[in-house]
Amino acid sequence: MKRVALVGTGLIGGSIGLALRSRDVEVVGFDTLPERAHEAVELGALDRVVTGPDACAGVDLAVVAVPVNDVVGAATALLDVGVAVVTDVASVKAPVVHGVEAARADAAGRFVGGHPMAGSEQEGVAGAESRLFEGSAWVLTPTPRTDADAFAAVRSLVDLTGGEAVALDPDEHDALVAMVSHVPQLAASTLMDLAAQRGADHRALLRLAAGGFRDMTRIAAADPAIWPDICVSNRDAIVAALDRYLEALEGIRNVVATGERQGLLEVLERARTARRNLPVGATDASDLVELRVPVADRPGVLAEVTTTAGRLGVNITDVEIAHSTEGRAGVLVITTSREGSRELEAALVSAGYHPAISPIT
């Protein structure tokens, strides 16, 4: 990867620019706010500002890092001028991916939805950091239309930033981030707002906020500007996840009200075990395996195999399709962590594939 274009140079776009430039990739870009693109140049996140989509035609890959509602427009403009591969970084994926497919059925194979699961309570390009993505999951959402080469290119981009590529179906992604990202944000902001309201009458209250409260409400300090779009785009999944959370909280409220010590302890013990077992990114490179999956070279296989891995929590460290010299057959070669690879193999067997696993030496 030699040249990448960034459309949108805020916190995430700027961080991608810094990461890529530290790996000797040339990064050009533009922003709806021209001064923000110039700031990105000053901060070292861009080599230079370009005028718009037309000027990006020759890049290897373009990253759309704009608010979720503007992604489809920006991505189709890039596809239309012939950019080889386009990806985005929006927090909601189904409306974006289905939107691009609906708008450009023929070119949609070159668009791969993406969502780096990393953020910051900083704001704008000034808060950009080259190491923002290191060790974090970066979801890619291939569909049956996705080109394997386009997927491999975006996966390489993730690799250059230090992220860990995890493939998921776009709708499944949206349901999962509702639970681990959108509901936590709303829960933290609601708690902070409520405490501040109570604190208006009891100024001591906020002085009592110790480390636990501070940790729990930290995300409430983030820029709220992106949230109305996210909540509208992912409304159904967020409402469903919030309803589950409300139900669980009502349950714990009733446990407290009735003084059931054992019931309370069980929930807290389960939560503690789960929190201590939260996976912490960063696959050990010495512990990788290669999965070779003979496939008919037909659309849909890439998405099916990679999202099966994603559902099992297995990240994709490398991917390529080795085409056979004749006919439409081929082999999808995926590199993954050893952990989970046997379950992935079993899942693929159930789905009718014939995978072979071998360690990487």
CA separation for the pair 351, 88 (Å, rounded): 30
Crossing angle (nearest 10°) for helices 11-21 and 34-42: 30
| Site string (277-316) toward a copy of itself, x via CB under 8 A | -xx-x----------------------------xxxx-x-
Residue whose structure tokens are 């990448």? 4
Alpha helices in the chain (DSSP H): 11-21, 34-42, 71-80, 94-103, 148-161, 170-177, 183-201, 204-207, 211-217, 227-233, 235-257, 261-276, 301-311, 341-350
For a copy of itself, the binding residues in 146-165 under the rule CB under 8 A are: 164
Residue-by-residue DSSP string for 123-148: -TGGG--TTTTTT-EEEEE--TT--H
DSSP state of 330: E
Residue among 180, 296, 322, 356 that touches a copy of itself (CB under 8 A): 180
192 binds a copy of itself (CB under 8 A): yes
For a copy of itself, the binding residues in 315-334 under the rule CB under 8 A are: 315
Residue among 7, 107, 128, 183 that touches a copy of itself (CB under 8 A): 183
Nearer to a copy of itself, 259 or 327 (CB): 259
215 binds a copy of itself (CB under 8 A): yes
For a copy of itself, the binding residues in 72-101 under the rule CB under 8 A are: none
For a copy of itself, the binding residues in 105-134 under the rule CB under 8 A are: 117-120
214 binds a copy of itself (CB under 8 A): yes
Residue whose structure tokens are 């030699």? 2
CA separation for the pair 222, 184 (Å, rounded): 13
The one segment of 8-16, 47-55, 79-87, 225-233 that binds a copy of itself by CB under 8 A: 225-233
- Nearest 10 degrees: Cα torsion 58, 61, 66, 72: 80
| Site string (14-33) toward a copy of itself, x via CB under 8 A | --------------------
Nearer to a copy of itself, 258 or 325 (CB): 258
235 binds a copy of itself (CB under 8 A): yes
> Least distance in Å: CB of 129 to a copy of itself?
12
> Least distance in Å: CB of 28 to a copy of itself?
28
- Closest CA relative to residue 167, chosen from 309, 19, 27, 268: 309
The helix (H) or strand (E) run that includes residue 48 is strand 48-49
Residue among 43, 48, 340, 357 that touches a copy of itself (CB under 8 A): 340
Q: Pairing relation of β-strands 329-337 and 48-49?
A: unpaired
357 binds a copy of itself (CB under 8 A): no
Residue among 177, 295, 319, 332 that touches a copy of itself (CB under 8 A): 177
Give, in degrees to the nearest 5, the angle at Cα 107 between 104 and 108.
75
For a copy of itself, the binding residues in 248-277 under the rule CB under 8 A are: 248-253, 256-257, 259, 261-262, 264-265, 267-272, 274-276
DSSP 3-state assignment of 354?
A: coil
Nearer to a copy of itself, 14 or 119 (CB): 119
